[in-house]
Structure formats: C-alpha cells, structure tokens
C-alpha cells in the first residue's frame, strides 16, 4: 500500500476508535454518533412486514436526556410529541448497527420498523410519508440521530425498503407523530411572554395563524431561556405559552408559510435549534 494511503487509513481508524470511546463514555445516555452509511441486508418481501401498532408507552429515562451534545452541537428533546409534523430528508441505517444497542438500551434490528430521531421523545410512534411516491409507513422511534447533514430521521433498513428508497440512501419525507391515546388537544393558555423591546409584557390572546414551535419544557425558566436565545436570531414575535402542563416556545404568527420555513432552516443552521410548524 502506498505511504499516503497507509497514513489516510491510520487516520480513519483512529477516528473510529475515538468515536467508539465517546459512545462508551455516556453510560446513562448513548446516542449513536457515528456515520450511519453502511450496507443493506438480505432480500425481504416487504409485504410480510407489518407496521407497528401504536400503543401508549411510558417515556424511558434512558435516551431522553435533554439537552445533550453530539459533535459539539446541542440538541433538545421535546417533552411531548404533540402536534409534531416536519418535512425533510430521511436516511437509513442497516447492517453496520444491526445487533447493537439503541439510545434507550434496546437492541437495534434492521428488519424491524424502527427509526432514530434527534428530538422526539423515546419511544414515539410516527407516520413517515415519502414525498416522491406517496407511500406511507409507521415506525417506532427508539434511537437518536441522524447527526450528519440536514437529515431529520434515520429509518431502519426494512422501513426504508418499504418506503422505496433503500437503494438510493435518502429521500424527502413528511414525519408526523402519532398520539396512541387519542386524547383531544387542550385549549392553549397564554402565559406572560416577552417580545423584543417589551420585556415582561403579557400577550392577552393567541392570534390565529401559523407558528414555528422551537421548544417545549416542563418549567417556565427553561422556556424563557430558549426564548431569549431565539430572540438573537429573529425579529419575529416569540412567545411562551402554557399548554398541557408544558411551556412551549412559539415564533409567530407569520402569514407566509415559506417565511416560517426559512426561519426554521436558519435556526437549525445557525443555532442548532429544531422546530416544526403548527397552526392555531
């Protein structure tokens, strides 16, 4: 092997060792932080693979630490998957991680209908719809990721196979969280919220329109801390509202949906803050 290729291989091997050490260090919370690019599994007749049936499950302590850091970036886990709906890029992972533990301690099975997500609570059931062929599947989220590029969800190999993109690696999808309890959404109650130049003012009512939800917390202080952080990135109104015992941080209302999507992408790229659109 030429000398320059030997050196390149050594650096790559060292990189893998370091990543492995990072994974072992977080015993209480171990997100999968290595690149998920790997090989496909055996041929599977997807007609024999049933989607999981959503059921009410307790949120696990392991795998839901918030905030957490990967590759120097900070991520927040949503206390609730309520109203979560996002479009973006899906990828998949397979043989390289088959048999390893997921972030909540379960064993990853590339032939099960599961997925990894950066911010949805574990476990969460979600409907994933391909924007290319309109196929739709249901997966159970039990892992963290993906942490490379603009991807929003990592599907198991068989889930990608059912959705029709296992052969090309990525595709554009719509991800919608499923509420197995079927509980109706409670009416929102606005709490005192601050806006640029009006610290401490109370917003009397929630104006109808489109909003970008960027966080939900079980205490007001955490919500206001995020509100303050987001304010440095946009001049749009930022409010904290109490709903279902959670303090939610919303940007808006904004009439133009595309403008909200631009804000969403900007926050993701400049501040590593994820969000999703909600309509009031």
Same domain? For 47 and 172 the reply is yes
Distances (CA, A) of 15 to 7, 9, 10, 22, 151: 12, 10, 9, 11, 22
Same domain? For 76 and 171 the reply is yes
Query: Of 148, 178, 208, which residue sits at a domain end?
Result: 178
Query: Of 123, 152, 178, which residue sits at a domain end?
Result: 178
Paired residues of 107 in beta bridges: 101
> In the structure encoding, which two tokens stand for residue 248, read together?
């939610």
Q: What is the pLDDT, as a whole number, of residue 280?
A: 78
Residue 71 lies in a domain: yes
Same domain? For 173 and 80 the reply is yes
Same domain? For 193 and 174 the reply is no
User: What is the domain extent for residue 203?
Assistant: 189-279
Residue 15 lies in a domain: no
Is the model's pLDDT at 188 over the cut of 80? no
Same domain? For 268 and 226 the reply is yes
Q: What is the pLDDT, as a whole number, of residue 166?
A: 93
Lowest mean pLDDT among 14-28, 122-136, 187-201: 187-201
Same domain? For 136 and 204 the reply is no
3-state secondary structure the chain: CCHHHHHHHHHHHHHHHHHHHHHHHCCCCCCCCCCCCCCCCCCCCHHHCCCCCCCCCCCCCCCCCCCEEECCEEECCCCCCCCCEEEEEEEEECHHHCCCECCCCCECCCCCCEEECCCCCCCEEEEEEECCCCCEEEEEEEECCCCCCCEEEEEEHHHHHHHCCCCCCCEEEEEEEECCCCCCCCCCEECCCCECCECCCCCCCCCCCEEEEEEEECCHHHHHHHHHHHHCCCCCCEEEEEECCEEEEEEEEECCHHHHHHHHHHHHHHHCCCCEEEEC
Residue 5 lies in a domain: no
Is the model's pLDDT at 37 over the cut of 70? no
Q: What is the pLDDT, as a whole number, of residue 208?
A: 77
Give me the mean pLDDT over the 41-60 stretch: 87
Residue 31 lies in a domain: no
Lowest mean pLDDT among 56-60, 119-123, 182-186, 275-279: 182-186
> In the structure encoding, which two tokens stand for residue 181, read together?
């309890």
> In the structure encoding, which two tokens stand for residue 69, read together?
């850091």
Does the pTM surpass 0.95? The reply is no
Same domain? For 172 and 45 the reply is yes
Q: What is the pLDDT, as a whole number, of residue 42?
A: 67
Residue 22 lies in a domain: no
Distances (CA, A) of 57 to 52, 84, 114: 13, 17, 15
Same domain? For 166 and 266 the reply is no
CATH number of the domain where residue 219 is located: 3.30.70.1070
Residue 147 lies in a domain: yes
Same domain? For 93 and 66 the reply is yes
Q: Give backbone dihedrals phi and psi of 161, rounded to 5 degrees, phi first.
A: -65, -45
Is the model's pLDDT at 174 over the cut of 70? yes
Same domain? For 52 and 162 the reply is yes
Residue 11 lies in a domain: no
- Give the pLDDT band (50/70/90) at residue 15: very low
Q: Give backbone dihedrals phi and psi of 137, rounded to 5 degrees, phi first.
A: -135, 165
Q: What is the mean pLDDT of the chain?
A: 78
Paired residues of 251 in beta bridges: 212, 238
Highest-scoring range by mean pLDDT, 24-38, 153-167, 175-189: 153-167
Q: What is the pLDDT, as a whole number, of residue 123?
A: 97
Cα separation, 243 vs 162, whole angstroms: 36
Q: What is the pLDDT, as a whole number, of residue 232?
A: 84
Query: Of 178, 198, 228, which residue sits at a domain end?
Result: 178
Q: For the chain, how many structural domains are there in total?
A: 2
93 neighbors 99 (Cβ within 8 angstroms)? no
Same domain? For 199 and 82 the reply is no
Is the model's pLDDT at 264 over the cut of 50? yes
Same domain? For 195 and 98 the reply is no
Residue 30 lies in a domain: no
């Amino acid at each position: 092997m030429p000398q320059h290729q030997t050196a390149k291989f050594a650096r790559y091997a060292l990189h893998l060792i370091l990543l492995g050490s990072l994974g072992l260090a977080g015993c209480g919370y171990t997100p999968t932080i290595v690149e998920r690019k790997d090989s496909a599994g055996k041929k599977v007749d997807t007609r024999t693979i049933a989607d999981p049936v959503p059921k009410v499950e307790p949120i696990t302590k392991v795998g839901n630490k918030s905030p957490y850091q990967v590759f120097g970036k900070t991520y927040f886990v949503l206390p609730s998957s309520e109203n979560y709906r996002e479009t973006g890029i899906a990828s998949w992972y397979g043989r390289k991680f088959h048999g390893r533990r997921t972030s909540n301690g379960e064993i990853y099975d590339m032939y099960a209908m599961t997925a990894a997500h950066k911010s949805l609570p574990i476990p969460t059931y979600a409907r994933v719809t391909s924007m290319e062929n309109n196929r739709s599947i249901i997966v159970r989220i039990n892992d963290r990721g993906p942490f490379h590029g603009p991807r929003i969800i990592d599907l198991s190999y068989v889930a990608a196979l059912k959705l029709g993109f296992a052969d090309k690696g990525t595709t554009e999808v719509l991800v919608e969280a499923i509420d197995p309890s079927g509980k109706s959404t409670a009416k929102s109650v606005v709490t005192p919220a601050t806006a640029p130049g009006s610290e401490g003012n109370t917003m009397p009512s929630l104006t109808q329109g489109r909003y970008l939800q960027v966080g939900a917390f079980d205490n007001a202080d955490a919500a206001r801390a995020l509100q303050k952080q987001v304010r440095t990135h946009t001049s749009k109104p930022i409010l904290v509202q109490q709903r279902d015992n959670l303090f939610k941080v919303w940007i808006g209302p904004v009439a133009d949906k595309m403008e909200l999507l631009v804000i969403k992408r900007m926050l993701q790229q400049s501040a590593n803050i994820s969000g999703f659109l909600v309509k009031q």
